[in-house]
Amino acid sequence: MKICIDCDDAAVNLKKILFEHLKSKGIDIADLDYSASKEGALYPEIGFNLAKQIQVGKFDRGISICGTGLGMAMIANKVEGIYAGVCHDVFSAERLCKSNDAQIITMGERVIGPELAKTIIDAWLLSEFQGGGSTAKVEQMRALEKQSFNKE
């Protein structure tokens, strides 16, 4: 599994901590560091860039961090075929994948501490879509998404 990570100026410390944590575990992770290529980049373009990288298949999953995680989730969900959610607890992180088949987890550095963030990311990486009762819900979500993105 190939993972990417990025953040805005409100989450630089947590991004560094999570990047190093995952590297130390041998996880294939890339820091997109969008802000390095564009001075003054704001979270919408940073989160959009990360989501697009997943949409085109460069990465399987992504970690997007800002002050609260809310803005990053909102912008990622504007990219067709991408599903993202804010998670500040382990159960939600697991359900993000197991029940919702989402590719992006978002977090807020101003909301969560680094040790809890590491635990949440570890649980998220171990989670896979389980199908079952969630299959019909995810399929319906994808069908409704197509109506929204592909208006005729």
Q: Which of 65, 90, 86 has its CA nearest to residue 77?
A: 86
Q: Name which of 98, 41, 46, 110 is nearest 72 in CA terms.
A: 46
Q: Which uninterrupted H or E stretch holds 86? A: strand 84-86
The number of beta carbons lying within 10 Å of the beta carbon of residue 11 is 25
Residues with active-site annotation? 66
Instruction: Look at residues 92, 62, 63, 86 and name the one whose alpha carbon lies nearest to residue 74.
Output: 86
